[in-house]
Structure 1
Amino acid sequence: MSLNYIKNFYEGCMKPPTVIGQFHTLFFGSVRMFFLGVLGIAVYGNEALHFSCDPDKREINLFRYNQFWPITPQVSFSALQLVIVLVPGAIFHLYAACKGINQECILQKPIYTVIYILSVLFRISLEVVTFWLQIHLFGFQVKPLYLCDTVSLGKKFTIIKCMVPEHFEKTIFLIAMYTFTVITIVLCVAEIFEIILRRFCLLIRQ
């Protein structure tokens, strides 16, 4: 791939053909990733070391911690979500870069407009799926005290209590990630309406 292709791909990713798309890129690239990196690492850093149960035994702590967080930590799922939802747009802009399609042509030629809208719809579907998975795995609130069933460990203590460190901060992080997902979906829907409106205005002028 030549440097020109790389340049076109970079410009396509950073400067989408719509105003809302450009705002979404700014929001996605700065606010969401910054919040995930700064607060996520601060809240979930070395979390397994501070997760304790009663009785406080290492094997029980690790067993319960793996039950408590299906994906360890939750910030890993949010990072994976960001990467997944970037794929449709990246594929489209890579295709546009290889074909030498500039951003103005995307809204001028119907075939390019349709493909771009499909990529946005695919992005929305990925956001919805990951949003549902996140709710299913982590819920909306992290409780300070959790009851663990350790029957599979063969212990006489079948139900034990576990303390979750920084539960309030984790709840804030969950709500923030859900809010960012909803905002992203709204921006994607608004971008589709902007594309349709600009395409309609272009047809009227012609």
Structure 2
Amino acid sequence: MASAAGILSAEPDFNSRRVTRTFVFRSRSRHRFRIPGWKKEGGMNSTPPGLRLLRPPTVIGQFHTLFFGSVRMFFLGVLGFAVYGNEALHFSCDPDRRELNLYCYNQFRPITPQVFWALQLVTVLVPGAVFHLYAACKNIDQEEILERPLYTVFYIISVLLRIILEVIAFWLQSHLFGFQVHPLFMCEASALEKTFNVTKCMVPEHFEKTIFLSAMYTFTVITILLCIAEIFEILCRRLGYLNNQ
């Protein structure tokens, strides 16, 4: 788009009293912008192999990471908050006193289930995240993980660590929360006041919590089974590579 240069010359004509204006135009030079990584003949540059490693090398691992992991996180984030969000507010004891309710609730829940399951998910993801970070730094492709024995062993170790962490989480969950939520909780409150020996506390929505607790146990068991199946898939595909050679 052209723009006026602002050079104006005026010559007065005394006979006609008209002013002759002469404008000088100067075209603006065009600037070309080049997108980084763009080639005329080939389009965008290909991504390095390490950055393409966003998914596990096995079909079962991809299913576990993309689908089942997302469902598990959605189940915990949305339904977990709906079931356990206001548990402390509706937890009441006899007599209904604030300090007694808080004391007995801390005894009933040493750790809240949402925090425990969030820590479980983060801890289970650590071995896989460390391996993928190592693969990204070394520019390891997905096929190389199954072709080279060293990378295959490292990946199997990360899956085994995931299984061990899930088993530990299952054991801790059974000791902290049990397998069923009862409607009444007997609280030992003698340390708070001598008049309180053993008091009864009402647990709100105990049936919904039992269903949710069973679902989280089921998710843990399914994750362990998927990890075991992934190891078998790795071994079968590894044997296939050896037979082809």
Alignment TM class, shorter chain as reference:
over 0.9
Where in structure 2 are the equivalents of 1:153-164 lying within 5 Å?
A: 153-164=192-203
Taking a change above 3 Å as real, the CA distance of residues 128 and 167 of structure 1, as seen in their structure-2 partners, is same
Measure the CA separation in 2 of the matches of 1:200 and 1:175. 38
Measure the CA separation in 2 of the matches of 1:29 and 1:188. 12
Aligned to 1:12: 53
Aligned to 1:80: 119
Which structure has the larger Rg over C-alpha atoms? 2
Q: Deviations over 1:97-155 (max 9, x none)?
A: 00000111000000000000000001100111111001111100111111111111123
Aligned to 1:44: 84
Tell me the C-alpha RMSD between the 2 structures: 1.4
Q: Note if contact 2:145-2:151 (Cα within 8 Å) is conserved in structure 1.
A: yes
Measure the CA separation in 2 of the matches of 1:149 and 1:68. 10
Deviation beyond 4 Å, 4+ runs, structure 1:
none
Specify which of 15, 35, 44 is matched with residue 75 of structure 2: 35
Secondary structure of residue in 2 paired with 1:152:
coil
Aligned to 2:131: 92
- Structure 1 gap ranges (5+): none
Higher relative contact order, chain-length normalized (CA < 8 Å, sep 6+) = 1
- Give 1:34 shift: 0.8
Specify which of 96, 100, 105 is matched with residue 65 of structure 1: 105
* 2:167 is equivalent to residue 116 of structure 1: no
Q: Note if contact 2:50-2:138 (Cα within 8 Å) is conserved in structure 1.
A: no
* 2:169 is equivalent to residue 130 of structure 1: yes
Larger strand share, 1 or 2: 2
- Structure 2 gap ranges (5+): 1-46
Measure the CA separation in 1 of the matches of 2:219 and 2:201. 30
Q: Percent identity?
A: 71
> What TM-score do the two structures reach when normalised by structure 2?
0.78
